[in-house]
Amino acid sequence: MSGFEIRRKDDGCVSTLYIKGFLDAHTAPQLERSLQELVNEGRFRIVVNFSELSYISSAGLGVFMGFIETVRKNQGDIKLSNMPPKIYRVFDLLGFPLIYEIYEDERQAQEKFAGSGTSSVEDGR
């Protein structure tokens, strides 16, 4: 029992992953598989909802870093949403808000994709 779950919801061209529980070295491969599946299916507009995540380790953070380049090369992005304060602090400490768009609400993140159309996702850092 790893105490980690991932649910996926596809809505048009946006896929949302809901991650729950503890994301650490033991459970990071599950997240890797889920992200790899999306990439394999050509789904590069990804929102990750953290509302039910209670812990993240450096291994979990590494998974996001491992996929962002591939996703952006394919005109997509990984947007993060609904982070509990203690999870956000870990991301903030490591400078993730400079690399990733982090939203309070999942819908805001999804709408950003809807608004991006075919325009470039890069906004000059």
Which domain does 58 fall in, by range?
4-106
Does residue 74 contact residue 103 with C-beta atoms inside 8 Å?
A: no
pLDDT in tens, 23-73: 999 999 999 999 999 999 999 999 999 999 999 999 999 999 999 999 999
Structural domain includes residue 120: no
Structural domain includes residue 23: yes
Structural domain includes residue 75: yes
Q: How far apart are CA 3 and CA 45, in angstroms?
A: 27
Alpha carbon 35 to its chain's center: 9
Structural domain includes residue 10: yes
Structural domain includes residue 115: no
DSSP 115: H
Q: Output the domain CATH number for residue 63.
A: 3.30.750.24
Residue 40: predicted pLDDT: 98
E-assigned strands of the chain?
4-11, 14-23, 45-56, 77-81, 102-103
Structural domain includes residue 50: yes
Q: How much is the pTM? A: 0.90
Number of domains forming the structure of the chain: 1
When computed from its CA atoms, the radius of gyration of the chain, rounded to whole angstroms, is 13
Asked whether residue 117 carries a pLDDT value surpassing 60, the answer given is no
Amino acid at 73: K
